[in-house]
Structure 1
Amino acid sequence: MDFTEDDLQELKHRLEDAAIKCSERCLYQSSKWAAEMLDSLLPINHEDTDPESPMEITDPTPPPINPYLRTQDPTEAALEAQEAHKYLLAKSYFDTREYDRCAAVFLPPATPPVPLSVASPNSKPKQPRSTPLKGKEKASPFQSSKNHGHAPGNPYPKLSQKSLFLALYAKYLAGEKRKDEETEMVLGPADGGMAVNRELPDLARGLEGWLADRSTKGEDDRGQGWLEYLYAVVLLKGRNEELAKTWLIRSVHQNPFHWGAWQELNDLLGSIEDLKQIKDLLPENIMTLIFYVYCSQELYQATSDTYSTLGDLQAIFPNSAFLQTQHALLFYHNKDFERASKIFNEILATSPHRLDSLDHYSNILYVMNERPRLAFVAQIATATDKFRPETCCVVGNYYSLKSEHEKAVMYFRRALTLDRNFLSAWTLMGHEYIEMKNTHTAIESYRRAVDVNRKDYRAWYGLGQAYEVLDMSFYALFYYQRAAALRPYDPKMWQAVGSCYAKMGRVEQSIQALKRALVAGSYYADDNPGAGARKVLDPETLHQIATLYERLDDEDEAAAYMELTLQQESGGAPVGDDDQSGEDDEYSSVSEHIAHSDGEADESGDDDGERHARSRRHHRKPRASTSSFGMQHDDSTAGETWHHPTPTTSKARLWLAQHALRNGDLDRADQLASELCQDGMEVEEAKALMRDVRARREDVG
């Protein structure tokens, strides 16, 4: 990506304009993002970037004028000039969180305030509060006027778009504030998510009328993107996602450097296919590239194209903490915890008071069992701001690592009290309730996490585990399948699906799911430098497939997979070399079958770099990683294969010995039984087998 000095100057002006205009409209998070990106931008050559160099104050060079800071539309500029003093008053009310007063500056309330005196006996009784509907209908707090066959008119006075946005945004936040006040405590007895923002219906009708009126006058090209964004947010609250997506795309075309609109658009994309569908509808500028990297990270798509695009962006923004965080999260989703931790360490060293995404860093330290470093990060976060959801999650992870699950739940609840839509807290609290054997509360936590973000495969997987503990295999299977659809190259997902099928007696489908787990696990082994050039498969999964074939009375396939299980002790099979010496025909056929399954999996369209991002503690112990099998000895014994027998491979060896004895292959049975005695596992069964072999040989003699 080649950027000239003129391009950099243009980008600098656009980011400066976005930071100022977002701040003027009280969109402080988007303003902070634009300001941080502006500060991290590659310096322009003609600028003096050395802070130690002397500056000639007598003859300063005036900076280039930013053409975007002034309003381009003369009508809007005139309206803004007339409303300047009122705008300052409204913004001062907004900054002190007096949202109703802020809105009333430009939009006086139509009804007088409620009198403090007691109502007279002749007054009409107060209308009861409307009860939200059950099921899917309760999600929509308003109905669009288009459903009634007519479009509303513009109910707002003639105001500039800047003032109108501030007033309507204040009304929206006032409704959110009242909704939070009516909401019960987190997971309390009355916390059913029934509280709604009562300002949404009026906002939806008003904005629809304002936008329709502007379209009727042929003024669509005069839109600034702010009110379109607010209308999309209101539609999202009413679960009208398709229409919201349309307005968000229009908003990012009119105002591409407003990061908040891109974030809302990302929340509407549930898969990489959704991203591909809207790719051609997005503007062609650098913000689309940033959005692509951000969406790919959120969808766990750590592809080479993603890394390439991220590298190009980091060349333009070399000091961007946001892009560094995306890089670290890509490593995190790829299960490369060391490199992810290193990047977060660098961010923490340069910006010790930055709390954004610090909860992900605590997850990484949790998985790595880095308790001292996690304690250090928790101290830094607490000293910076103890009432941030990220801080509460960091401290909760620290207590969880100490096995103090009650304290961990307390901090996750505190995070959700501060922000009900903080995804990490819902999922992590579900994990803690699983540890505390409180399955029903864990299910509710995971359900709330899925409501916040349907792309959170950890919550879907947690729901499957919880229902599996309750012996509700049909429900568990459904949630495991949702998790596997989000993470098709995660062997753990397919192992869970196969386990559910086996419990339900659907053996053939269980075998297919476990073969998918083998394919995904073999990719992980290939990417692992410790596995060398050999395709290592998970012995436990192979053994499960073998036992399932035994349930189908297919001893030939069972024996083939038992041989494969045994083969993993010596590091598995070399990739692409299925005809090696000492490998029988059954092994070759199974390898070919797995290779065929491998090809089918490649057609799913997902990147083979997908990995399970975090291995939290669960009811059952996690399966051993495939990378722990087939490790080679050190250089002092180069060329010698070091065997690592495990309980699983010992069971396979015993089964094969018994199978050989049943088929009259006494030499093979005797050899496997003697190996079992050397391993120190299944010794008694091996000795009994050797006695049977000796007795049969004597009978034959």
Structure 2
Amino acid sequence: MSLRGRFNKDQLRNSILDAVVRCSERCLYQSAKWAAELANSLPPESNNPSFETDTDSSMRDADPAIAPNPIISSNPDPEEARLEALELPQYLLAKTFFDCREFARCAAVFLGPTTASLPSKSPKGKAKTSFPGGFSPSNNGLPALSQRSLFLALYAKYMAGEKRKDEESEMILGPADVGANINKELVGLSKLLEGWFADRTAKGLEGSNQGWLEYLYGMVLRGSKTQSESKRWLIKSIHLTPFNWGAWTELAELLSSKEELPEILKELPQNVMTLVFHIYARQELYQSSPTDHQSLSEVQKIFPGSEFLQTQRALLYYHAKDYDEAESEFSKLLTSSPHRLDSLDHYSNALYVMANRPKLAFLAQVATATDKFRPETCCVVGNYYSLKSEHEKAIMYFRRALTLDRNSLSAWTLMGHEYVELKNTHAAIESYRRAVDVNRKDYRAWYSLGQAYEVLEMHFYALFYFQRASSLRPQDPKMWQAIGQCYDRIDRPMQSIKVYKRALTAGTHYENSTSSFGSGSTTEPPSGVLDPEILYQIALMYEKLDQTTEAASYMELTVAQEDGPMAEDEDGRLNEDPRVEGTGVTMTTSRARMWLARWESTRGHLAKAMELANELCQDGAEVEEAKALIRDLGARMETESSSRGTP
């Protein structure tokens, strides 16, 4: 999708600033912060009264009565405005309680101590609850409040449940930690909100809904695993409050695959926020294409100073495994905003894969100086210790990250990697399982689970997890290669061949390969060539099927990758393509050349076998075996020569 037509930047700025105020009023701090950063990234306009000149400034200093008009959160609905004015003292009290993280106390200001407690224990046949502040109850069992106050009360109730859930959690991966704690307020909140919306519809007031309670209902339904209904209510909220970023992120969490995204986009408003969401959702689904970068550039023309959008570009490069470009974007972000910790865990992952220890050490120092107790900081420091091979210390920091945020996907996955390094496969598997519970779209956790089960030689389990990973990342040859290896180990060579061929066609060039669990340096192969390792494995599978001619053709194709792909010249003859370099001699191509040399020897083509063996002696990896083969071939050729000379 793309932006069409012109829009008023002043109007856009005012809409975003209004969203900042309204999100702050409802204690949606992350959404308020996001909107404020976005508004600040808009370029200043010379005719914009928000940006005063020196003359304006001097006039204001001379006369304090002259000042820019602040944004005032006024409600256009007269009834809502009347209720907000009546509730102002109670609202301000409730908001201060929320700001002090006294969530149950905040909810009790408007709902009373009975309704604010666990809803499942509501008594039957008893007198109606008396609400504080003189608020009279409505037909749905809630006090007659403005939508602002009702949202704050119910949201505080939701946060009280989240806080209680964290308090009841056991030690990370301890004997009693089963990861099954739930927010016990969800059922009661769902009933209250359902009744409120039904009451509004019955009274014909649905058209004056503001969208905030729809957002809360969508969150509650997502927590209750009612995915389709959650999507519907979040989309309703987005149409009413398009600059509430929290609703967009909740909707992105509900997308299980990239195929769902186009269908969702049809139901969303066609504005700049939908385009931002499209870029964000693609990135969260680990997708990256030139079209995504083009769309991102289009949005950055509107918000040229947006650090959020710059972070999205860095993450697009990161998911495409273009670590150099990702590191460059993250480095610019760190220079311009050294105290911004958002997504620094991904930056540390990129530096870890690149084995850039000095920069990773510097990043750890910057993050620690800013905030020691942020999950991102703990992941950065954990990666630093992991790169130093101090795996116990790394695990300690990843555990600390999870203590701060049990839903930290990076921490669960990275801790699994560390347990693998310590040969604690069962703890690694549990870590990866918890990562999958946090985000079932994370192909890396599924892939790591497959690798962990391979270590335990449980190949059918490994096959299942590799298949899940490939369904999320179908264009990644590494996923299909892992499936092919599993089929080989369970003795299904035909299926293995099919999957390996799928790996060859998965992309225009094979991606850089890391070690089993993401450690070690990587080398990027030339684009335009086929993966010699996959070709070699296909050849071995054909050999298992006793189809040696087919095996030989794939071995020859493996060796051919040293010089790069072939291209037709003007006369229609195949020659090496000078525009694309090959892989050069590798361990795999040397093994393929040795296989061909032995195969030619068994066929009696001694001269061809001798030529291949001599090539191995010059720059191959199988030198000793090649020398032994040369001696054997030399003896056979001498025997044949002497036998021909015998009368």
For the residues of structure 1 that align with 2:529 and 2:551, how far apart are their CA atoms? Answer: 19
| TM-score between the two structures when normalised by the length of structure 1 | 0.82
For the residues of structure 1 that align with 2:166 and 2:571, how far apart are their CA atoms? Answer: 62
For the residues of structure 1 that align with 2:422 and 2:24, how far apart are their CA atoms? Answer: 45
One of 616, 635, 657 as aligned partner of 2:597? 657
* Aligned: 1:29 with 2:22: no
- The equivalent of 1:17 in structure 2 is 18
- The equivalent of 1:696 in structure 2 is 640
For the residues of structure 1 that align with 2:463 and 2:280, how far apart are their CA atoms? Answer: 30
Superposed displacement of residue 306, structure 1: 1.3
- The equivalent of 2:76 in structure 1 is 72
Describe the SS at the equivalent of 1:520.
coil
Structure 1 residues 470 and 531: CA distance shift in structure 2, 3 A: closer
Decide whether the 8 Å contact of 1:450 with 1:460 is kept in 2. yes
Counterpart amino acid of 1:206? L
For the residues of structure 1 that align with 2:475 and 2:84, how far apart are their CA atoms? Answer: 54
1:168-189 CA distance string (max 9 Å, x none): 1111111111111111011110
For the residues of structure 2 that align with 1:414 and 1:90, how far apart are their CA atoms? Answer: 32
Describe the SS at the equivalent of 2:314.
helix
- The equivalent of 1:165 in structure 2 is 151
For the residues of structure 2 that align with 1:696 and 1:23, how far apart are their CA atoms? Answer: 92
In the TM superposition, 1:85-100 aligns within 5 A as 85-100=89-104
Structure 1 residues 694 and 580: CA distance shift in structure 2, 3 A: farther
One of 582, 594, 611 as aligned partner of 1:630? 582
Q: Which moved more, 1:383-392 or 1:513-522?
A: 513-522
Decide whether the 8 Å contact of 1:168 with 1:203 is kept in 2. yes
Superposed displacement of residue 55, structure 1: 4.1
In the TM superposition, 1:536-615 aligns within 5 A as 536-574=529-567, 580-581=573-574
Decide whether the 8 Å contact of 2:443 with 2:472 is kept in 1. yes
For the residues of structure 1 that align with 2:446 and 2:308, how far apart are their CA atoms? Answer: 28
Where structure 2 has 5 or more consecutive residues not aligned to the other structure, the ranges are 122-137, 513-521
* Aligned: 1:686 with 2:630: yes
One of 388, 399, 403 as aligned partner of 1:417? 403
- The equivalent of 1:269 in structure 2 is 255
For the residues of structure 2 that align with 1:50 and 1:113, how far apart are their CA atoms? Answer: 48
* Aligned: 1:668 with 2:612: no
Superposed displacement of residue 111, structure 1: 7.7
For the residues of structure 2 that align with 1:501 and 1:226, how far apart are their CA atoms? Answer: 51
How many residue pairs end up in the alignment?
606
1:133-166 CA distance string (max 9 Å, x none): xxxxxxxxxxxxxxxxxxx961201000000010
For the residues of structure 2 that align with 1:346 and 1:172, how far apart are their CA atoms? Answer: 38
Counterpart amino acid of 1:566? V
For the residues of structure 2 that align with 1:695 and 1:209, how far apart are their CA atoms? Answer: 97
Superposed displacement of residue 530, structure 1: 8.5
One of 581, 586, 593 as aligned partner of 1:646? 586
In the TM superposition, 1:509-528 aligns within 5 A as 509-520=495-506, 522-524=508-510
Superposed displacement of residue 438, structure 1: 0.6
For the residues of structure 1 that align with 2:491 and 2:184, how far apart are their CA atoms? Answer: 50
For the residues of structure 2 that align with 1:318 and 1:483, how far apart are their CA atoms? Answer: 36
- The equivalent of 1:677 in structure 2 is 617
For the residues of structure 2 that align with 1:437 and 1:113, how far apart are their CA atoms? Answer: 46
Counterpart amino acid of 1:78? R
Superposed displacement of residue 56, structure 1: 5.1
* Structure number with higher relative contact order (C-alpha < 8 Å, ≥ 6 residues apart): 1
Describe the SS at the equivalent of 1:107.
helix
1:381-405 CA distance string (max 9 Å, x none): 1111100000000000000000011
In the TM superposition, 1:244-259 aligns within 5 A as 244-259=230-245
- The equivalent of 1:42 in structure 2 is 43
Structure 1 residues 500 and 58: CA distance shift in structure 2, 3 A: same
Q: Tell me the percent identity.
A: 57
Counterpart amino acid of 1:555? T
Superposed displacement of residue 694, structure 1: 3.6
For the residues of structure 2 that align with 1:355 and 1:578, how far apart are their CA atoms? Answer: 59
For the residues of structure 2 that align with 1:197 and 1:467, how far apart are their CA atoms? Answer: 32
One of 113, 118, 121 as aligned partner of 1:109? 113
1:468-509 CA distance string (max 9 Å, x none): 111111110000011111111212111110000000111111
Where structure 1 has 5 or more consecutive residues not aligned to the other structure, the ranges are 115-126, 128-151, 584-626, 632-643
Decide whether the 8 Å contact of 2:567 with 2:574 is kept in 1. no
Structure 1 residues 373 and 56: CA distance shift in structure 2, 3 A: closer
- The equivalent of 1:388 in structure 2 is 374
In the TM superposition, 1:138-157 aligns within 5 A as 154-157=140-143
For the residues of structure 1 that align with 2:46 and 2:30, how far apart are their CA atoms? Answer: 30
Decide whether the 8 Å contact of 1:673 with 1:690 is kept in 2. no
Decide whether the 8 Å contact of 2:231 with 2:254 is kept in 1. yes
One of 320, 328, 339 as aligned partner of 1:334? 320
